[in-house]
Amino acid sequence: MLQPASPRHRQILSLVQERGYIANETLAQLLGVAVQTIRRDVTFLADQGHLARHHGGASAVTSFENIAYTERQVLNLSAKEAIGRCAATLVPDRSTLFINIGTTTESFARALKDHRDLRVITNNLHVAMTLSRRDDVKTIITGGSVRPQDGGIVGTSTLDSIDTFRADIGVIGISGIDADGTLLDFDLDEVTCARAIIRNSRRVILLADHTKFGRQPIGRVGHLSDIDDFVTDRQPSPAMRDLMVAANVTLHIATG
């Protein structure tokens, strides 16, 4: 993660940490600059993972609660779409796939438009809706309870459903990667589902944009050594790349 580039950036971060959430207009007034300048600063700091960008303002990145789904849908969208397209190239036709909850995995599902004869098991209602319209994709939705805020399907029935299958490829997203290579998420239901996908997949592909590096949610999904391929949008730090080499993880950098 890059350090804040200017004194104003450091002031913004200090105010965000102090207040939890602050509007762009308020930041502009306090710092004596135009709102457009604050928007650019907030975008830069969010891209570097220092804060969470929202419509009209910014909040602190928390280890206890994820950003709202509607915000995550548009946050770093171009990077997520590029990651989805890159990951899709790793999937052969006639594969069986797990796809879990997350906005990046939803981008991946959209990128499968040219694939044929897929079998997909998912606990993501948005993924299921994207793929179920296709005649050449058999979509299986896990059992469980549907969360209204993000279309995630979770619960004991979800784990039982995942454990019923063995897939060629498990595609998972996460919310954070610690410096030691630990894979983390905010929601404990999502943690247990991701673990089930990992243990029931012959190959695991992890999708995460650069803002997830150094982010520290409280739920432990696993470790880099549990995955086979990692698709992201920027080069990780040398220390993180060394961890991937040691874990025999293939790194893919999405472009465009």
pLDDT tens digits, one per residue of 216-237: 788 999 999 999 999 999 998 8
Torsion of CA 181, 186, 188, 190, to 10 degrees: -80
Residues of the chain with CATH 1.10.10.10: 7-61
Beta strands in 107-255 (DSSP E): 118-122, 137-141, 145-146, 153-154, 167-173, 176-177, 182-185, 201-207, 219-223, 229-232, 250-253
Per-residue pLDDT for 186 more than 80? yes
As a whole number, the mean pLDDT across the chain is 89
Specify the pLDDT at position 1. 45
Return the CATH class of domain 74-253.
Answer: alpha beta
Specify the pLDDT at position 5. 61
Residues of the chain with CATH 3.40.50.1360: 74-253
Specify the pLDDT at position 62. 60
Q: What percentage of the chain exceeds 70 in pLDDT?
A: 91
pLDDT tens digits, one per residue of 160-182: 999 999 999 999 999 889 889 99
Contact between residue 8 and residue 27 where contact means Cβ atoms under 8 Å apart? no
Quote the pTM value.
Answer: 0.76
Mean pLDDT of the 14-25 span: 79
Beta strands in 11-146 (DSSP E): 21-23, 51-54, 57-60, 96-99, 118-122, 137-141, 145-146
Q: What percentage of the chain exceeds 90 in pLDDT?
A: 66
**Is 7-61 a CATH 1.10.4160.10 domain?**
no
pLDDT tens digits, one per residue of 35-87: 999 999 999 898 887 887 877 888 766 654 555 555 655 556 788 999 999 99
pLDDT tens digits, one per residue of 77-126: 788 999 999 999 999 999 999 999 999 999 999 999 999 999 999 999 99
